[in-house]
Amino acid sequence: MHGGRWYIALVKFMEVGYDLFWMVVGLSRTGTWTKSLNETAASSTTCTLPKGTDNYAAEERHAYGGPWDGGEVGTQLPAKGHAVDGPQDGSEEGAPLPVENAVEDDGLAALYPTLPSSSPRLCPLHQQLLELYCCDEKKDICEECSLHEHKGHQVVRAGEDRERVQQELNAKIQKSIADRERIIQSLLQVSQTHKARSVLQYSLQSTIQKLMMDSQTFFTDVLKSIELSCSQSIVAMDSSAQADSGTMKIWNPEPVISGVRSALDVYRQRLDDLTKTSLASIFRVVRIEPKLDPNSAYRQIRLSDASRKATLCAENQNYPEKPERFMFWRQVMCVEPLAGSPYYWEVEWTGQRVTVGVAYGDMARSAADDSARLGHNTQSWSLYWSGKAFFMWHAGKETALTGPKARRIGVYVDQQEGLLAFYRVSHNQAQEICCVHTHFEGPLFPSFRFWSGVGSAITICELE
C-alpha cells in the first residue's frame, strides 16, 4: 500500500510539473504568468493525495478549476488566448497555435501582425498547378488543360504572357506618341499655311487696289486723249468751214477715228502689261521650286543638281532600303508637302513619255499594282504625255485631252480650294491644258513617273 501511494504521488508530481511548464510558457505571452504561477502553486500545495482513482480525478478538477473533458487524468481544455499543450487538427504534438490566436485583444496584437499566407492555385479539374495562360479564353490553366480542353489554343507561360502584354502596351504607347507628333506637325503646317495665306490675301488685295487705281488713272488719260482728239477735229472743221465759206463740203471723220484707234491701241498694250505685272506679283508669293526626295526615288533614278533633276539610268543606284521608296514603278516624289493654297511650279522633261502629278504622302510605295502607280488610284492625280497626246489620270480613269505637246509644264494646286491645273508653258506664256476641281483631304506632294528610255530626265525649273 505504501509503495502504491508513493507511486501515485510521483506520477502526480510529474503531471503537475508538466502542466506547470506549459502554463508558464503560455501565460508568459500574456504578461500574467506570475499570478497564474502563484495560483497554480497554491492549488498544488493544498491538494491531498487521493485515496482512490475517483478522489484523484475530483481533486484534479478542483486543482485546475476547469470542466472535465473526459480525457486523460490531469488534462484540461485550453483557455482562450493561451497556447495549446497538445496536438490540434493534426499538427505536430506540442506545437503552439499561430501567432494571431495566441494573444488576447489587449494591445499586443501589433507586435504579432497577421502575415498573408498563399497556397498554390490548383486546377479544379485536374488538381495541377495553374502554370499556363490561355490567350484565347484569357484564363489560367494547367498542363492537362492545354492538352485537352484548350487544345489548339494559344497557350503561354504566365510570365511570358505578362511580357507579351507589356510589349503590346509599349507598342501602343509608342504609336500614341508618334500619332501625337504627327498631329503637332500637321498643326504647325496648318499654322504656317494660314500665315502664308494671310500674306497672300494681303498681297492680292494690295495688288488689286493698285490695279484699280492704275486703271482709273489710265482711263482718265485715254478719255483726255479722246477729248483732245475730238477738240482738235472740231477746231479743224471750224477752220475748214471758215476758209471755205459759201462752199458746201463733205466732212471726213477718218482723222478722228484714227486718233481714237491709236489711243485704244495704246490703252490695250498698257493694260496688258499692267495685268502681266500684277499677276506676276501675285504668283511670286506662291511660286516654289520643290526638291526631289532621295528616299522615295526608284533604284534606277539618279538625282542631281541639288535634288532638282532626276534621270533614268540603266544601272542601279544602290540606295539604302527605305519604307517610302518606290520599289516597282519608276517614280520619285518631292520632299515638300503642299497644304493650304495656292502653289505653282514648273518642270521641263526629256524623253518619249512622261507623267507629272501630285499624290498624298501615304500612297503605297512597295506594291507592284495600281495602288502605287501615279494617277491610277484615289491617292494621286497625274498628267500623262503618251507621245501623241495628253491624258488626265485619276483613280484608274483616263480622260483624253486636246492640244499640242509641251516640254515645259506648269502645275498650279490650291489644296484648300480643291483646284489642280496643268499649263503648257512656252515663250513666257502659259496655256491651260486641263483643270480639275475636287476635294483634297490632306497635303499633296509633287510626283513624277518615268517610262522607258534611259537618259530621260525631268528638271524642276527655277522661277524668277
Taking the chain (464 residues) in consecutive chunks of 10 residues, what is each chunk's mean pLDDT? 61 66 54 46 44 44 42 42 44 44 44 52 86 85 88 80 72 81 72 60 64 69 68 62 55 66 72 58 70 97 97 96 96 93 93 97 96 97 96 96 94 92 92 95 96 94 88
Question: Residue 185 and residue 88: Cα distance in Å, rounded?
Answer: 73
What percent helix, strand, coil does the chain show, rounded to 5?
A: 40, 20, 40
Amino acid at 7: Y
Which residue's entry shows cell 537618259? Answer: 455
- Give a yes or no: residue 94 inside a domain: yes
CA distances from 108 to 28, 102, 105, 246 (A): 13, 10, 7, 150
Question: Residue 26 and residue 415: Cα distance in Å, rounded?
Answer: 90
Q: In this structure, what are the phi and psi dihedrals at residue 385, rounded to the nearest 5 degrees?
A: -100, 115
Same domain, 393 and 320: yes
Sheet of strand 139-141: strand arrangement = 139-141, 132-134, 155-157
Residue ending a domain, choose from 111, 126, 141: 111
Q: Strand, helix or coil at 122?
A: strand
Residue ending a domain, choose from 50, 79, 111: 111
User: How many domains in the chain?
Assistant: 3
Same domain, 273 and 352: no
- Give a yes or no: residue 446 inside a domain: yes
Residue 86 contacts residue 95 (beta carbons within 8 Å): no
Q: What is the pLDDT of residue 131?
A: 83
Same domain, 407 and 258: no
- Give a yes or no: residue 266 inside a domain: yes
Same domain, 255 and 343: no
Q: In this structure, what are the phi and psi dihedrals at residue 301, rounded to the nearest 5 degrees?
A: -105, 120
Same domain, 340 and 227: no
Q: What is the pLDDT of residue 121?
A: 81
Same domain, 305 and 279: no
| Helical segments of 68-157, H only | 143-147
Same domain, 263 and 318: no
What is the radius of gyration, based on Cα positions, of the chain? 53
Same domain, 446 and 309: yes
CATH number of the domain enclosing 455? 2.60.120.920
The three cell numbers locating residue 62 = 478542483
Q: Bridge partners of 435?
A: 421
Residue ending a domain, choose from 85, 111, 137: 111
The three cell numbers locating residue 285 = 508669293
Same domain, 252 and 378: no
| Helical segments of 244-367, H only | 254-283
The three cell numbers locating residue 22 = 506549459
Q: Which domain holds residue 51?
A: 2-111
Same domain, 455 and 311: yes
Same domain, 262 and 316: no
- Give a yes or no: residue 376 inside a domain: yes
- Give a yes or no: residue 43 inside a domain: yes
Helix and strand totals (H; E) in the chain: 6, 16
Same domain, 7 and 105: yes
- DSSP conformation letters of 428-455: TEEEEEEEEE----S-EEEEEEE-S-TT
CA distances from 449 to 64, 85, 306, 391 (A): 108, 96, 19, 14
Q: What is the pLDDT of residue 362?
A: 95
